[in-house]
Each structure stands twice: as structure tokens, then as C-alpha cells.
Amino acid sequence: MARLKRGLVNFQIFITIFIFIQLYVGTCVFASTLTDPVAQQQLDRVVELPGQSFNVSFAHYSGYVTVNQESGRNLFYWFFEAAADPHSKPLILWLNGGPGCSSIAYGEAEEIGPFHIQQDGKTLYLNPYSWNQVANILFIDSPVGVGYSYSKTSSDLLNNGDKRTAADSLAFLLRWFDRFPQFKGRDFYITGESYAGHYVPQLSQAIVRHNKETKGRTINLRGYMVGNALTDDYHDRLGVFEFMWTSGLISDQTYKKLNLLCGNQSFIHDSDACEDILDIASKELGNIDPYSIYTPSCARNVSGSNQLLKKMHRFGHVSEKYDPCTEAHSRMYFNLPEVQKALHVSTEFAESKWETCSGLINTNWKDSPRTVLDVYHELIESGLRIWVFSGDTDAVIPVTSTRYSIDALNLTTTKPWHAWYDDGQVGGWSQEYAGLAFVVVRGAGHEVPLHKPKLALTLVKAFLSGTSMPTLDLVSSS
């Protein structure tokens, strides 16, 4: 009996020591992930996604970076290595706008990302024109409260604005490069569309100034590119109304009233009178998608289409050439618990509903400058490569708006207006200036890579190489 008791005591001691060792080892492993970027990368690595029936040649990672410890602001990212030779290729950051729209919902899932979503909202297919064919791609849901990003301080969601978004995005990048040190010093470019016409140059400005203050190139920013971008409220408004009128979308009377009542209004903080005439214009447009005026609208959204124009600068409503309901597929897929688990979505977010765009973020947006043309001037002087592109079937921030805004920069033309080609067909038009290149993408809407993915890939290849858009190679008759 005594021998049995001694055996039980020894067994209990053994179990206690074993548990202690396991706890110690577990604590050490956890602590090591805080200091070992390779360990943290492995925790963030996505092994396989629900609905993925194909293999890929590249690694991808997703997770969170805390940008403000005190309030608990955490930005969600999804990073894709290049499909081939990622160690030699540049790094691209893509940002969507809104303000309040997810870069995962749009940039990744229906534009430049490798994984797109089938109509069932459960399965994926591989995008053959993904930009990770030519670069490593990083997507961020920014600012806090957008997509899977969250804050432990609820008031943060009511106090987003341009300045804090740029500051938080800079903090994100500095910490992300610490987590992925193999990309420190890599050629880095920022791209985006729509309200990212504010985000992209503002973040670029923050990086340039940070590099000057630290007397180094902590982030090796080489340039930026924006598409159908909000740039200057006055010129962008002027171009929107002119495009709608010349395209036969609105009446003469409404055109005049839009210029009178909205011409000097902020895109984000406009007046009641401006809102009222935008409602009238929206009714005159009918049930079309102003983001792509020649493609069909999603039938699920017809009942709310009269509100599209009024909120055109606020929400990233999607129309796709072959499937205009892509946004609905994303909403279904990214709300699946198994998808959120695979993407390492925080339990802090798990009780929330994932949305493509946040109305709460948008309606509570704080600072939004009337123009970023001054930022362009500063960054042109810094020597960054700056490109602006525009799909020419977009009535939200149309090609006319972009041309007015670029003209306001008063830059010297270095290469006059000319057509560019893809596979022997006109892909669009381009003009180059001292410090900036402008590219029109023929037949594309607000989301150029959605409607013209092949042309968008041609565009980013030229941008990264710093060459002009391709011209027509004449075949010799001899």
C-alpha cells in the first residue's frame, strides 16, 4: 500500500513537472514570436483557403499589425508573394477608398489579387491577370473599422479621417517591414483607386517625410499610381457633371443646377441642396451603374439604384462586365467562419459582420482636404515616379475629372497625347509630363482591373519598368 502511495506521489510530481515544462516551452515559443519575425510570419501564413480546389506556386500571409497600442487599433493585411521569383520582384501596396471600403473586398477579390470568388460565394478561382505575376502584393484594410480591421476603442471608428489614416498606414508599414525584414530595402510602390486618390499620395508624402527625418530609406518608396482618383474637389466635380451631360445621362437643367449647387462643395461634406440635386440626377440616370455606364447592373441592387449617384463618392458598388454581382459573392465568402479562421481573423472581430464598405466609417469621416494637388507638387519635386490612370466609362470620377485636375498642375508636356496598344488594338491613350504620366484605359469603368484585367496588367508592367505604354509595332511588308 505504501509502495502504491509513493508511486502515486511520484506520478503526480512527474505530471506537475511535465505541465511546467510544457507551459515553459509554450511561453518561450510565444515570446519568440514577438521577437522572431520568421516565427510570426509562419503564424500568419495561410495554408489553404476554403473553396480552393487548385494549387498555387506562391506563399501568402494574413493577419494583424497593431498601429496604436493604447487604443488597440489593429489593421488587417493580406500579403501575396510574386508567383515566380519573389525575391527579385518589387513590392506593391494596394489601397481601396470609400472612404470606408475594404481593399480585400475590391483590390484582392475582384481586381488585382490572385483569388477571385465564384458566383456561389463559396469557391475560388485563380485570376490569370493578377498583379502578383509581376510583383509581391500587399493589401491593407484601412482605416480601422474597415473590412476585418478593428479597434478595442469603439470611439476610434467615429474619428477616422485623412490625417490619422496616413499616420496609421505609415505605422503599419514600419511594423510590417519588421515582421517581413526580407522586404526591407525592396523597391516599393503604392497603388489604389477612387478615394485612395487621397490615401496614396498622402501616405507617400508621410513616407518621404519620414525618410528625411530619419535620414535614411526605411521604406524604399519609388513611386505611386492611382486610378479614377479623387484629387481636387472643384475640378473633379466639374468633370463629373460634364461627363454625365455629354454622355447623355442627365438633362440640361440638372447639369446647370449641379454646377451651381455642387460645384464648390466638398465630395465628402456637401450641402443639403447639393444632396437634393444629386438625387434628381440619380433618378435621371435610371437603373444603370454609374461606375461602369455601359455594363449591366446587378439585378439585386436595382431597388436601391436611385441612391447610387448620391453616394457615388462614398461606396465601392461594383459592376463586372460578365458578373455584375461580384460584391455579393465577396460578402458571402468573407463572412464564412471557416474563411475567417483560415485568414487568422481575430476573435475580437469574429462577432462583427464583414462588409465590403462601412457606412459608419463613411458618415463619420472627419478631415478631408479639398485638394491633394499640393501633395503632388511636393512629391514630383522629390523625384517619385507618379502615374495617374483612368477608365473612360466611369461616371463617378471620370476621365474628364482627372484631365481637369492634371491640367491644374500646370506641368510641361514631354510626350504629347497618343494611342497605346495591346495585341494590335488600341488599349487607350496617354500623355506624359515632367514628373507625371497619364494613361486612359479604353472601355474600363471605375475599377479598371475589374473590367479590363489584361490591359491593367499591361499598365502595371509599364509603370514598374518606368517605360511608356506600348505603341503599335508596324509589320514590315518586305
> Which residues are catalytically annotated?
194, 394, 446
Sign of CA dihedral 270, 273, 279, 284: negative
DSSP characters for 317-385?
Answer: ----SS-TTHHHHHHHHTT-HHHHHHTT--HHHHTSPP-SB-HHHHHT-----SB-HHHHHHHHHHT-E
Task: Enumerate the H helices of 104-251 as residue ranges.
Answer: 162-179, 196-213, 233-246
For residue 8, give the C-alpha cell.
Answer: 502515486
Place of cell 477616422: 160
Select from 329, 299, 301, 334 the least CA-distant residue to 315: 301
Q: How many residues would you count in the chain?
A: 478
Q: Residue 436: enclosing H or E segment and its boundaries?
A: strand 436-441
CA 44 to each of CA 49, 76, 303: distance values in angstroms, whole numbers, following the listed order: 13, 11, 41
Select from 462, 409, 459, 457 the least CA-distant residue to 436: 409
Place of cell 433618378: 283
DSSP 21: H
**How far apart, in whole angstroms, are the C-alpha atoms of residue 176 and residue 143?**
16
**How far apart, in whole angstroms, are the C-alpha atoms of residue 284 and residue 292?**
16
The answer for residues whose C-beta is within 8 angstroms of residue 163's C-beta and 6 or more apart is 367
Cβ–Cβ contacts within 10 Å for residue 43, how many?
11
**What are the backbone angles phi and psi of residue 192, rounded to the nearest 5°?**
170, -175
Q: Residue 11: enclosing H or E segment and its boundaries?
A: helix 2-35
**Contact, 77 vs 90, CB < 8 A?**
no
Amino acid in the structure at residue 400: T
